[in-house]
Chains A and B, each alone.
Chain A
Amino acid sequence: MKTVFARLQSWEGFLLCALILIILVNSSLSPQFMTVSNQVNLFQLSIEKIIVALAMTFIIINAEIDLSVGSMMGLSACAFGWMFQQGMPSGAAILICLIIGAMGGALNGWFIAKVGLPSLVVTLATLIGYRGLARVLVEDRGINDFPEWFDALGQKGLLGPIPFANIAFVVLFIILYIVLQRTGFGRKTYVIGTNREMADFAGIDTARHKLILFTGAGLIAAFAGLLYAARVGAVRGDVALGFELDIITIVLLGGVSIFGGTGSLVGTLLAVMIVLNLRNGMALLNITGHIQTGVIGLLLIGSVVAPRLNLGKLLRRQTGPNMTKGKT
């Protein structure tokens, strides 16, 4: 049984302390910070990104990267808009978008797992390709006037003031947490990320595993794209442009090593909370634009550098449940 102090000495413990500090500062500087509507908005404004960050956590622990998620979100949102405009029932359009997401993700996975190309290259190509498709479908004109229930789902509270997307995030987090920390699939994700060759020798079908991960990431990105369309009630070719960088930032800040094998969803969740609270706090103090970006950037530099300094000896990053040590 670990003591409280030992627990706080982990990277997650460090993030938790940082989060508490940020929340304290925010609530003392802004009277609106702790209101229910602001807390809901805080999540709502970035809800699609943080949902995809959950999938990205799996991908990066697996020692891969998926740069195409932002474009896939855009493609899904635009495909929905286009099909809706062509007169297709929205239920069917949603289903097709999710299928597009899974197929797009599977295409990434196929090139990476079966053909053996680096994920950086493959998903950079599909980042451009999926965005291109989105722009071809919708061009520069916006599409809006979606069905009322669709807009309401994205904009109104479902459970009291809490909108559907926030509930989806919580549910998805719980499911994925169980998968990553409590199942064989989760353990394999860590093992392959630590050393793929070793995993191959151990008889793990690593290609199949990666195919599943990328398919899942595509599916979740498409789902998040639909949530975005519902939240803003309109789509355009540039929907979710550049979101992949924010998503990867959050995951890395959460202590997931870019080299794979290390990290946890709890870390990602804490990083999500830190980034969102920091952004919101700055926005309430009217700090926007370049300064806001700069502060978040500094935070990332710190999170990448800190484990390499002496601090790294103090703050252990979590590895897979059945593993002794990460490779760092």
Chain B
Amino acid sequence: MKKIASVAALSAIAVGMSTAAQAEGTLDAVKDKGFVQCGVSTGLPGFSNPDEKGNWQGMDVDVCRAIAAAVLGDASKVKYIPLTAKERFTALQSGEIDVLSRNTTWTQTRDTTLGLNFAGVNYYDGQGFLVSKNLGVKSAKELDGAAVCIQSGTTTELNLSDYFKLNNMQFDPIVFDTSDQTVKGFEAGRCDVLTSDQSQLYALRIKLADPSSAMVLPEVISKEPLGPVVRQGDDQWFNIVKWSLNAMINAEELGLSSANVDSMKESSDNPSIKRLIGLEGPKGEGLGLADDWGYQIVKQVGNYGEVFERNVGAGSPLGIERGINALWNQGGFLYAPPMR
């Protein structure tokens, strides 16, 4: 019996590996299935979080929706698969998801040794600290000896060790699997400090019973460029994800939004806009998509600015400033290659 069970388990692994390996053309697989399988977080307001009706919303979710709009012409054809930080890369490697859009930091190790490709950056972040106001701490340099809640399997864990070591400070790492657990540990008082990417800290602060009792310290201790990730070795799909993101950023730069894209399609003489909408230029041929893929993204999901304001900006409970996530010509880092 034991032998049969182990043989069955091993063959399941082997078959799993070989089918995933055969699914080289992610684009064809997605078209056949009729939906995009998108790995998201287990619940992070502003990035990927289900609303009260169970619909997923957020910056990362809108990347998935843009891909579905470009590939299938319908932004709603996405199947969301919630993953913890620990599960995410294995899920992508094994072919369980088509794209990972889950506030994932782009690092050299991840890009080069995991068989993955980062398709761009949809949010520039940095690691910070959330502390309870009654501790009276004003700077991260005062945190010597603190107990720190962290989510396991993140770059945060590594940056934290580096930062405390560099400043000759001690800390007790309290490691949990999900960000919800870290918040609960922080609220219960298991730790003095909650550390994560700053955008997450603002999002997690909302989840506290009394958000005004906690504050985010001013120090940003790392660079955290977050973006969608795909499997290595499928350049076509890599290009599709990359250019879906670029289309959103370019649309904002050109002043094209979900509200005016129809009228612009009729009336605009701007060749850049015409190329993005798919009336001229490279259209969808090189990507293997319909010619109006860019139009569908802008129409159904919106440009990057709309996505930002709706999910994390002024129009959301998070109220994060554009800051470094503004367009390059408005003082930020966002710069998409031209579509021509």
A and B associate: no
